[in-house]
Amino acid sequence: MKKIIGLSTGRKNGNCEILLKEAAKGAAELGVETEIIRAMDLRVLPCKGCFACHFTQKCVLDDDVDWILKKTCVEDTGLIVASPCYHLRANAYLMAIAERLNHIFMKEGGDCSIFKKTRVGGIISVGNSDKDWTTLNLLTINLFVQHTRFLVDQMEANFAMEKGAVLRLDKSMQRARLLGRNVASAMMKPIDEVKFVGEDSPIYCPSCHCNVLFVPANLPHVTCPVCWVHGEIVVNNGQWQIVWNKDDVINNRFSPYGEKLHLDFAEKRFEEDRQFLKTDKAKKLLQEYSAYGKIIHP
Ligand SMILES: Cc1cc2nc3c(=O)[nH]c(=O)nc-3n(C[C@H](O)[C@H](O)[C@H](O)COP(=O)(O)O)c2cc1C
């Protein structure tokens, strides 16, 4: 029996961790074991942007993120990520882990196997407010989970500030247990029979099920900022709706096709950059800009 890896980026024994444990109890009801990673107990450093990973397939930073990424993105498991909302989006622990994915893409992504979405995932978002102050949390957790998992369920627990406050929110606790069951149950099905079973809002992206829209140019054209699925706002029988592009849903940003396209694009960009940086003009300008300006320190 495969297991679930639960990643909490909240406080030790905090609300994310409690909800994740409740989801683990739900999964255990179906006989699926969950192992929990508590990111705040580990060393998590942000990416320094050195791009060494693109050439060596390794990260130069010495911390625990490589291990976290192997557990969450490479191993053949279900995945549940629980993150608190900090300043409207997933907290820096999760964002730091997510932005360190590049060397995993380089190493494991070559044959696109980690992008194939044959594994499933769930998302738990925790905030102390209602939706007005958590608008980007589900969306930013999705930015991590969508790379490697087919999303089965996602939930938001609101109005939990102090550590453990979520324990008084019966509905959120019950919902987390259901989420664990949903992920475990999906793991037992052939992947082509797995469906998203979470609650959808009236407008949602058919890929990540988030309801935040990006307008690239002019209405009525809209895009999901997570998956880059395009759509068009239409009026049908007096009702405003979005008609989503079906090809984009299949070949979205996180599909094997989309991931490969982006990796190839990055390769091409590196080559163009390298050619430019060899020129005398670039060397002269770089010298000028590195000498210019007043850098201040504390
Ligand atoms: C720096 C910081 C920023 C926060 N920003 C938000 C926010 O924008 N919206 C929100 O709903 N809650 C916000 N919160 C509240 C946390 O999401 C809430 O306390 C949550 O329960 C923490 O999860 P944990 O108990 O697993 O650590 C913030 C908390 C901190 C520490």
pLDDT, block means (10 residues), the chain with 298 residues = 95 98 98 98 97 90 97 97 98 98 79 88 96 95 97 97 97 98 98 97 94 96 98 96 97 94 92 97 98 98
Please give the tally of structural domains in the chain: 1
Tell whether 243 is covered by a domain.
no
**CB of 11 closer than 6 angstroms to any ligand 1 atom:** yes
**CB of 133 closer than 6 angstroms to any ligand 1 atom:** yes
- Global pTM? 0.97
Which atom from ligand 1 is nearest to the alpha carbon of 18?
26
The Cα-based distances of 189 to 35, 75, 155 in angstroms read: 21, 18, 21
Tell whether 297 is covered by a domain.
no
Interhelix angle for 15-29 vs 170-187, to 10°? Answer: 50
**Contact predicate 259/228, CB 8 Å:** no
Tell whether 118 is covered by a domain.
yes
Tell whether 272 is covered by a domain.
no
pLDDT number for residue 61? 97
Q: Whose CA is nearest to atom 3 of ligand 1?
A: 86
* Amino acid occupying residue 120: V
**CB of 15 closer than 6 angstroms to any ligand 1 atom:** yes
Instruction: Locate the DSSP E strands across the chain.
Output: 4-8, 34-38, 78-86, 89-90, 120-126, 150-157, 221-223, 230-236, 239-244
pLDDT number for residue 109? 62
- CATH code (residue 99): 3.40.50.360
E strand or H helix that includes residue 16? helix 15-29
Report residue 79: phi and psi, to 5°: -140, 130
Tell whether 283 is covered by a domain.
no
Tell whether 161 is covered by a domain.
yes
**CB of 127 closer than 6 angstroms to any ligand 1 atom:** yes
**CB of 14 closer than 6 angstroms to any ligand 1 atom:** yes
Tell whether 204 is covered by a domain.
no
Tell whether 12 is covered by a domain.
yes
Residue 116's contacts (CB-CB under 8 Å, 6 or more residues apart) are 256
Structural domain of residue 143, as residue ranges?
A: 4-199
What are the structure tokens assigned to 193, written together?
């029979």
